Chain A
């Protein structure tokens, strides 16, 4: 190979400089949230996380209702997305012939590409009326004694947000799980089949145990997606900072609170509190993402694939 010329060094240096934008951007985001949320952090300290009242008129700002709403709606969404995403990924990797993979693969990509606001529209005009008229009354008739299914059945609320989130995070989970299944060594699968296992037994005994950590990682990547989802949730969750035991009740999430209250935040402390919600959201994203990556990496590493 020829020695590196001046041109090589210049090009490489230039590209290196541009790549610095990645570090710069993440730094700027973190700095902005810390600086703008500083007033709220100093004013409330740790009690911000435990405060269950969010009442700007009285100057009370607590993040608990948003943490609660984010967690519960994300959990409902993840349950749906995991079951359906795992099924889709298994069908795509273990059964389908090439042609079908391309077709269904394209459709799953499309599911990921539908804009958030269109999911919101679907939520408002199709999911919410269906919940109000069909599912929620049915659940109430059967399980009405349990607080989880008690209360007003308006359609708008935690359950609607969870359903929409489920569909929106499904493609993320399906994509990562497909990747993880791809890392399962063929010798394991072939071995199981050669021993006379049916496809289902092969999946249960060879594929799933090997991929378990990776599946968990995929679910957490789905969680990252669910945490950050703003518009669709904003349109169906009802936007009330309350903590109730009922899945039918309206709630609020970190991201949808920022989106809907930012424009009307009149006092500096109000604005700062919203920025602190943003800071919490970023920290959760980084934390969960890092854990998820480690899990997916572990499976790829064991399967002998590059990290």
Chain B
């Protein structure tokens, strides 16, 4: 190494550190700005009527009550479909799968995780919507389930990997069968992690918009069944944000504030459950 003055090197080291701080600050600035702006612009409309009323024509102040109920309904349905599939696959990957098959599954899961969500909308439109002859809550829920599964598989597997091998070896040494080992020792030890996986998947599904465009489609009224088009909070935010009316735009911010609050609470809960472990 060519000798350089120590002071110059120390100065460079400090400057580099400041640059890194600056990059991090710049990276987090939009988050701060989004949270602050959503609060400033969203709070005025944050009233009971926002959560209880239907969207109204311009001039009358309406709400997003049906969209919030719709979102909860389809995300609930989606979780009911996706959780068993995702968690079971995660368990299989972590505890049972032969190494090679596991590698293939993991690779496909990662690709699935990266598949643009709009394509999920195309798939569900071509299969569910066309065969049911219309947009429906079911189609929306199936789209969201499709998006939740890879998240669930990944977190389940990662959480099970955090359980030390000693737990498994101990159980097997005491004479437990493989199934007893997994279901009586490993899974109970990982309960918090598994719940975290579901919480994170729900948080992701709640904010998804693209796959709902031509599956759930949206609806201006209260829901009357699972076979008709259904409103969803992100869809309503999109609709109002791109409208030319200031009243609707303000409501879009209130909707965004609602959505952000739920997502932040879910993530804080996940963080609390695992103390940040296993969440990259």
Known: A115-B234, A199-B16. A289 touches B108 (CB 8 A): no
> A4 an interface residue at 8 Å Cβ cutoff?
yes
Chain A residues near B116 (CB, 8 Å)? 227-230, 255, 281-282, 285
**A118 B119 Cβ-Cβ under 8 A:** no
| In the complex, chain A residues whose CB is within 8 Å of the CB of B97 | 16, 19
B166 at the interface (CB under 8 A from A): no
Residue among B210, B238, B259 with max Cβ neighbours from chain A (10 Å): B210
In the complex, which residues of chain A have a beta carbon less than 8 angstroms from the beta carbon of B167? none
- Which chain A residues in 132-176 approach chain B with CB under 8 Å? 167, 170, 174-175
Q: How far is the CA of A88 from the CA of B19 in the complex (A)?
A: 10
Q: Which residues of B contact A213 (CB under 8 A)?
A: none
* Cβ B238 vs Cβ A109 within 8 A: no
Please state if B23 and A121 are interface contacts (CB–CB under 8 Å): no
What per-residue 1/0 map shows which CB atoms of A177-212 lie under 8 Å from chain B? Answer: 011000000000000000100111101000000000
- Please judge, given known A-B contacts A87-B20, A115-B208, A228-B116, whether A5 and B122 are in contact too, CB under 8 Å: no
Among A8, A115, A201, A307: residue with most chain B CB under 10 A: A115
In the complex, are the beta carbons of B23 and A88 less than 8 A apart?
yes
Q: State in angstroms the CA–CA spacing of A167 and B31 once bound together.
A: 9
Q: Is A235 an interface residue (CB 8 A)?
A: yes
A105 at the interface (CB under 8 A from B): yes
Which chain B residues lie closer than 8 Å to A110 at the CB level? 31, 264, 267
Main secondary structure of the interface of B (DSSP, over half): helix
Q: Mark B179-194, 1 if CB is under 8 A from A, else 0.
A: 1001100000000000
**Chain B, Cβ-Cβ closest to A120:** B241
**Given contacts A15-B91, A116-B209, A107 and B28 within 8 Å (CB-CB):** yes
Given contacts A18-B89, A199-B17, A262-B214, contact A25 B112 (CB under 8 A): yes
A113, B263: Cβ atoms under 8 Å?
A: yes
Tell me if A57 counts as interface (CB < 8 A to partner B). no
Query: Range of interface residues on chain A?
Result: 35 or more
Closest to A182 in B: B280
Identify which of residues 221-280 in chain B touch chain A, using a CB-to-CB cut-off of 8 Å: 234, 237-238, 241-242, 249, 252-253, 256, 259-260, 263-264, 267-268, 271, 276, 279-280
Q: Is the CB of B9 within 8 A of A121?
A: no
Q: Is B276 within 8 A of A106, CB to CB?
A: yes
Query: Is B137 an interface position by the 8 A CB rule?
Result: no
Q: Mark B94-135, 1 if CB is under 8 A from A, else 0.
A: 001100000101011111101111111111011100000000
Q: Does B68 contact A (CB under 8 A)?
A: no
Known A15-B88, A115-B206, A115-B234; contact A22-B153, beta-carbon cutoff 8 A: yes
Question: Is chain A's binding surface mostly helix, strand, loop or mixed?
Answer: helix
**A291 located at the interface, meaning its Cβ lies under 8 Å from any Cβ of chain B in the complex:** no
| Docked CA distance A170–B30 (Å) | 11
From A36, A92, A289, give the contact of B114 (CB < 8 A): A289
A19 near B23: Cβ-Cβ < 8 Å? no
Please tell me if the beta carbons of B30 and A32 are within 8 angstroms of each other in the complex. Answer: no
Check B238–A231 contact: CB distance below 8 A: yes
Q: A258 at the A/B interface (Cβ < 8 Å)?
A: yes
Contact of A286 among B17, B31, B111 (CB under 8 A): B111
Whether A230 lies near B117 (C-beta < 8 A) is yes
Instruction: List residues of chain A with CB within 8 A of the CB of B114.
Output: 221, 224-225, 228, 285, 289
> Does B52 make an interface contact (CB < 8 A)?
no
Q: Chain B residues near A224: list those with CB within 8 A.
A: 114
B21 within 8 A of A: yes
Q: A110-B267, A116-B207, A278-B119 are in contact. Are A88 and B24 (CB under 8 A)?
A: yes
Closest 9 CB pairs of A and B: A87-B23, A115-B207, A228-B116, A15-B92, A198-B13, A200-B16, A230-B210, A84-B27, A200-B13
Q: Contacts A8-B179, A19-B105, A258-B122 given: A116-B89 contact, CB under 8 Å? A: no
Please give 6 more A-B residue pairs, beta carbons under 8 A apart, in addition to A4-B177, A117-B209, A235-B238: A19-B92, A25-B112, A199-B17, A281-B119, A285-B114, A289-B114
B residues near A (Cβ < 8 Å) are 1, 9-10, 12-13, 16-17, 19-24, 26-28, 30-31, 33-34, 37-38, 41, 84-85, 88-89, 91-93, 96-97, 103, 105, 107-112, 114-123, 125-127, 146, 149, 153, 172, 175, 177-179, 182-183, 203-204, 206-210, 213-214, 234, 237-238, 241-242, 249, 252-253, 256, 259-260, 263-264, 267-268, 271, 276, 279-280
Is A42 on the interface with B (CB-CB < 8 A)?
no
Is the pair A121, B263 in contact by a Cβ cutoff of 8 Å? no
Answer whether A200 and B12 are a contact pair too, CB < 8 Å, given A19-B92, A29-B123, A91-B20.
yes
Rounded to whole Å, the gap between the CB of B255 and the closest CB of chain A is 9
From B92, which residue of chain A is reached at the shortest CB distance?
Answer: A15
Interface members, chain A 99-127 (any B CB < 8 Å):
102, 104-111, 113-122, 124-126
Q: Which residues of B contact A8 (CB under 8 A)?
A: 177-179
Q: Which residue of A lies closest to B153 (CB)?
A: A22
**Contact among A104, A106, A286, A307 for B271, CB-based, below 8 A:** A106
Q: Is the CB of A29 within 8 A of B263?
A: no
Is A1 an interface residue when CB atoms closer than 8 A count as contact? yes
For the complex, give the distance between the alpha carbons of A258 and B30 in Å: 27
- Also in contact, A259 and B115, with CB within 8 A (given A91-B20, A111-B31): no
Smallest Cβ distance from A181 to chain B, in angstroms?
12
Assembled-state Cα–Cα distance A20/B80 (Å): 18
Question: Are A255 and B210 in contact, with the CB atoms below 8 A?
Answer: yes
Contacts of B276 in A (CB 8 A): 102, 105-106
